C-alpha cells in the first residue's frame, strides 16, 4: 500500500512542486497551507510522514512540530528550513522532527529523502529483543520499559533498536547517521546529539548522568550491556 504524506507549506508554488514530485514517486499526498488546516487533516487520517515548513501564516511551525510529535508519534516529520538557519534545524530536531531539508532544494532529492525515512521506519526485523528492563517489540515498533510502552518518535525507536542489537559496541556520530538515517542522508553529526539527548530524557533515571546510553569521549556513544 502506498505511503501517505501530508505536505504543510503556505507557499503555493513550493507546495505544488513537492506534491507533484511525491505523487510521481508513488505516494498518496494531501496538502495544507496552514497549521490549522493540517491539524484538521490529521484527524481524518494519520500520515506516515509530514513535510512541514516551519514558517506558516497562522501558527508557529515549531508549535505544529511539537503538536505532531506529541499527538501523532507514529508520523515521521521532515521539516523545511531556510538557508543558513542552523538554529531552526536544531530546534526542529529538539521538538521531535526526524530530519530536515534546507530551502531551496531539488524536489527529486526531497522525494528521495522521504523514501529513505520511510524505508528506515519499515525495515524488516526480528520480532522481540530484550535487555534488562527494556523489551523491543519490532512488530508493533514499541519499546517497553518494565512492561510499559515508552512514548518514542520513530527515530528514537530505531536508535534504541540499533543499540539493543549491538550492546557494548561504540558507534561514532557518522556511523549512527549512516545506520539509522541511511547513507543518502545529508545531515550533520550534531543532529545525532540532539536525538540522543531527547532519548536520554525518556529512558534514563537521571538524564545528565546516563546509565544506558554512555558517551565515549572522542568516539561516540555506546549502550551499556553491564547493567
CATH code of the domain occupying 128-223: 1.10.10.10
- Domain 4-121 CATH superfamily: Response regulator (3.40.50.2300)
**Cα–Cα distance for residue pair 53/180, rounded to 1 Å:** 23
Kindly report, as residue ranges, where domains of CATH 1.10.10.10 are found in the chain.
128-223
Residue 122's pLDDT is: 63
Place of cell 561514532: 172
Q: In angstroms, how far is CA 32 from the centroid of its own chain? A: 20
Q: Could you tell me which residues come within 8 angstroms of residue 29 by beta carbon, excluding any fewer than 6 positions away?
A: 4, 5, 6, 7, 19, 22, 23
Domain with CATH 3.40.50.2300 in the chain: 4-121
Mean pLDDT by 10 residues, the chain (227 residues): 88 94 91 93 92 91 89 88 76 84 89 84 58 81 88 88 88 86 67 90 93 93 84
Cell numbers 528506515: residue: 120
pLDDT computed for residue 53 by the predictor = 93
Amino acid at each position: 500500500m502506498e505511503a501517505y504524506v501530508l505536505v504543510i507549506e503556505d507557499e503555493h508554488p513550493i507546495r505544488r512542486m513537492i506534491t507533484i514530485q511525491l505523487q510521481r514517486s508513488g505516494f498518496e499526498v494531501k496538502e495544507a497551507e496552514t497549521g490549522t488546516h493540517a491539524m484538521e487533516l490529521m484527524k481524518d487520517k494519520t500520515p506516515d510522514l509530514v513535510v512541514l515548513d516551519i514558517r506558516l501564516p497562522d501558527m508557529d511551525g515549531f508549535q505544529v512540530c511539537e503538536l505532531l510529535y506529541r499527538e501523532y508519534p507514529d508520523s515521521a516529520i521532515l521539516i523545511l528550513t531556510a538557508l543558513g538557519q542552523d538554529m531552526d534545524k536544531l530546534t526542529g530536531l529538539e521538538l521531535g522532527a526526524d530530519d530536515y531539508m534546507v530551502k531551496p532544494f531539488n524536489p527529486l532529492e526531497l522525494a528521495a529523502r522521504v523514501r529513505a525515512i520511510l524505508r528506515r521506519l519499515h525495515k524488516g526485523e526480528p520480532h522481540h529483543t530484550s535487555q534488562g528492563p527494556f523489551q523491543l517489540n519490532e512488530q508493533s515498533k514499541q519499546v517497553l520499559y518494565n512492561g510499559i510502552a515508552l512514548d518514542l518518535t520513530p527515530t528514537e525507536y530505531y536508535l534504541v533498536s540499533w543499540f539493543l542489537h549491538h550492546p557494548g559496541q561504540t558507534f561514532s556520530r557518522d556511523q549512527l547517521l549512516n545506520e539509522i538515517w541511511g547513507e543518502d542522508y545529508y545531515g550533520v553529526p550534531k543532529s545525532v546529539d540532539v536525538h540522543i539527548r531527547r532519548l536520554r530524557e525518556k529512558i534514563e533515571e537521571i538524564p545528565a548522568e546516563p546509565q544506558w546510553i554512555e558517551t565515549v569521549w572522542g568516539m561516540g556513544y555506546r549502550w551499556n550491556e553491564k547493567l
